[in-house]
Amino acid sequence: MSTPQERIVPTNLRNEMSRSYLEYAMSVIVGRALPDARDGLKPVHRRILFAMHELGLTPDRPFRKCARVVGEVLGKYHPHGDTAVYDALVRMAQDFSMRLPLINGHGNFGSVDNDPPAAMRYTECRLQAIATDALLRDIESETVDFIDNFDGSQQEPTVLPARIPQLLLNGSSGIAVGMATNIPPHNLGELIDG
């Protein structure tokens, strides 16, 4: 059996801080702050859309309470806090925030004058046709890889099988550790026609 002194590994402080900071920075970049170029979504947005797809909230189905969607995302895919998830959901429903909203919101989703949205227990949502047709259509066709969620109880897609360049269509902004992005939205017709 070793003593506590024998288990201490001497290391250079500068090297350890550099390595630890880089690992933290990459975790933030990949895990939260910047969108993936393949589907144009940050993890929280991807998880919301996938959860809504799993709940069957397609454009031809009735609206469901946003609180139900937020609970599904928190419980299965994104254990970070309801405010972050609801804010991301609201943004995807605002036609003044996205060129083509991915979520069809019913109720008060805020205003261009920076008025806040109503609480999630009052608002309702379902997917827009663009989200089901362009981002989620082939999700069951083994077109993308799936990984375990945070506790290994569910599977979630690494990216959505985007049929359009969603990153350019709706743009994105994000601030990470040591880097940032601010991509403006573009016209759908110009993107598709080339």
- DSSP alpha helices (H): ranges in 62-128? 66-76, 82-93
b (16+ CB within 10 A) / e for 147-186: eebeeeeeebbebbbbebbbbbbbbbebebeeeeeeeebe
Q: Is 21 a catalytic residue?
A: no
b (16+ CB within 10 A) / e for 84-114: ebbebbbbbbbeebbebbbbbbbbebbeeee
Q: Could you say which of 21, 24, 86, 122 is catalytic?
A: 122
* Catalytic residue numbers, as ranges: 122
